Amino acid sequence: MSIPGESPILRTIDWRGRALSLAELRRELPRVASASTHDAESSVRSILDQVRSAGLPALRSFAERFDGVAQEQPKVPQAALDRALAELDPEIRRALEESIARARTVALAQRPEDVPVQLAPGANVTLRWEPVRRVGLYVPGGLAVYPSSVIMNVVPALAAGVGSIALASPPQKEFGGLPHPSILAAAQLLGVSEVYAIGGAQAIGAFAYGIPASAGFAGLEPVDLVTGPGNIYVATAKRLVKGVVGIDAEAGPTEIAILADASAPADYVAADLISQAEHDPFAASVLVTDSAELADAVQAELAAQMGWTKHRERVARALAGEQSAVVLVDTVQQGIDVVDAYAAEHLEVMTENAAAVAARVRSAGAIFVGPTAPVSLGDYCAGSNHVLPTSGTAAFASGLGVHTFLRAIQVIDYDRAALAAVAEHIVVLAGAEDLPAHGDAVSVRFADRGATP
């Protein structure tokens, strides 16, 4: 299928006959978005500093500079939320409602139970799940607008029992400086009324540090946790405010890796690679295959499909970037080793016995099994969450879910007899650590206090 003389869309990394080295893989298939995150760091740091020190005037100036919007204050009035839902296209409303229903079913089922453990009569340790008090949810709106990300952020937060939710999305010039109406409508559908027209790093700063009230603006209370996806500026800002507030995983520019063998339909593979490349020029699309024939067929399909795909310029930049490639391997097992080392945000498995192969994968934000589970399904309507770890952080981080919005509190409840049973061990260990006051704090409870006067 490859067209002789036509240059391939994706570069090829030939890993056949080579042992896998994580360091080499990282060098040959770099996360360009991650490298650019470091470049963005100094400008993002300055944005955050200005938001922290100047508050509202800084937000105004960034809205003007980055979004081309003259903004008095960023809070979206309730009337605008009402209007957005009233005017929402009924077909889009039905699709959003289906997406919400599926996400909610999954999120509610994933709520963990408390874990009470009795170690002896009167000796109890319980793991108690408590929702985060107040969260700030970011919904992107630069190159594309993401009402689906409203759902992915809000539904698990509500399922976890978060009591206070603020949401921010970039102001849009063509909508009078408000976020896109579909975003407002999705927020209103979910009952979120604290919505701000703030984009990028400045939104993350506003959530982390809060914005004091001033004339005509009631202020923005700082949050305890910031979640949500975004471009390199958003991802960098989240990384920089971590510690001041909690963050979910890094959910930066989108990535798709596809592990496929000769059984995979080349047109599906190409369509899926393009689907995620259309998010961002920094998006990564990677095919890992043991079939040189499939690789050729996918290259030809990419060339054909790029002829008609709407955002072909963005897609072409993403596919031509160093972050995108075809990786040729000897076997599907070697392919599993490569995708494990790569730890993609999204991994599709399109091989014979896809479920069995997927079960052997250890690192990915989400795994899509077989030819009828494309990433687009998870983006909108699978019931799974599309806010997922990027840049290899899937090696240690998870996608957004109810767990993101919960904290595990350990509750220790020992009665006197239960404490007495371990008192000696505590005194001994405290002595071994040369922290005798720790032992004394136990011994005092068993000392004879004499008769009460």
Ligand X SMILES: N[C@H](CO)Cc1c[nH]c[nH+]1
Q: Residues forming the annotated binding site for NAD(+)?
A: 138, 202, 231
278 binds Zn ion (CB under 5 A): no
Distance in angstroms (rounded) separating the CA atoms of residues 197 and 16: 50
Residue 17 CB, shortest distance to ligand NAD, in Å, is 34
CB of 211 to ligand X, least distance (A): 28
Rounded Cα–Cα distance for residues 18 and 29 (Å): 15
Nearest 5°: phi and psi at 16?
A: -65, 135
CB of 284 to Zn ion, least distance (A): 12
345 binds Zn ion (CB under 5 A): no
- Give the residue among 136, 107, 99 at the shortest CA–CA distance from 221: 136
Q: Is 38 a catalytic residue?
A: no
Q: Within 10 A of 86 (CB to CB), how many other CB atoms are there?
A: 9
Give the one entry of Zn ion, ligand X, ligand NAD, none that residue 132 binds, where binding means its C-beta sits below a cut-off of 5 to 8 angstroms depending on kind: none
Cα separation of 397 and 181, whole Å?
32
Nearer to ligand NAD, 295 or 366 (CB): 366
**E strands in 152-311:** 164-169, 195-197, 225-227, 246-247, 255-260, 284-289
Nearest residue to 148 via CA among 157, 156, 139: 139
Contact residues toward ligand NAD (CB under 6 A) are 43, 66-67, 140-144, 146, 149, 170, 199-201, 229-231, 233-234, 251-254, 279-280, 283, 345, 386-388, 390
Looking at the Cβ atoms of 250 and 379, the one nearer to Zn ion is: 379
> Per the annotation, where are the binding residues?
138, 202, 231, 254, 276, 279, 346, 379, 433, 438
Nearer Cβ to ligand X (146/368)? 146
Q: Which residue has the tokens 């520019």?
A: 253
148 binds, among ligand X, Zn ion, ligand NAD, none (CB under 5 to 8 A by kind): ligand X
Decide if 114 contacts 127 (C-beta within 8 A): yes
In 10 A of CB 126, how many CB atoms? 14
Our CA angle for 240, 243, 247, nearest 5°, is 75
Residue ranges binding ligand X (CB under 6 A): 146, 148-149, 254, 276, 345, 379, 386, 388
- Is 345 annotated as catalytic? yes
* Nearest approach, Cβ of residue 44 and ligand NAD (Å): 7
CA distances from 402 to 110, 138, 190, 244, 363 (A): 7, 16, 16, 21, 20
Q: Which two tokens stand for residue 120?
A: 């002896």
Using rule CB under 5 A, residue 280 touches Zn ion: no
Is residue 348 part of the contact set for Zn ion (CB under 5 A)?
no
Nearest distance, CB of residue 252 and ligand NAD, angstroms:
6
**358-394 b/e (C-beta count within 10 Å ≥ 16 → b):** beebebbbbbbbbbebbbeebbbbbbbbbbbbbbbbb
The residue assigned the tokens 């930066």 is 252
Closer residue to ligand NAD in complex, CB, 390/404: 390
379 is a contact residue toward Zn ion (CB under 5 A): yes
Which residue among 194, 255, 345, 348 is the active-site one?
A: 345
363 binds, among ligand X, ligand NAD, Zn ion, none (CB under 5 to 8 A by kind): none
Q: Which does 142 bind (CB under 5 to 8 A by kind): ligand X, ligand NAD, Zn ion, none?
A: ligand NAD
**Cβ-based nearer residue to ligand X, 238 or 386:** 386
List 180, 311, 346, 386, catalytic entry = 346
Task: Rank residues 314 and 386 by Cβ distance to ligand X and give the closer one.
Answer: 386
Q: Could you list the active site residues?
A: 345-346
Residue numbers of the site for Zn ion (CB under 5 A)? Answer: 379
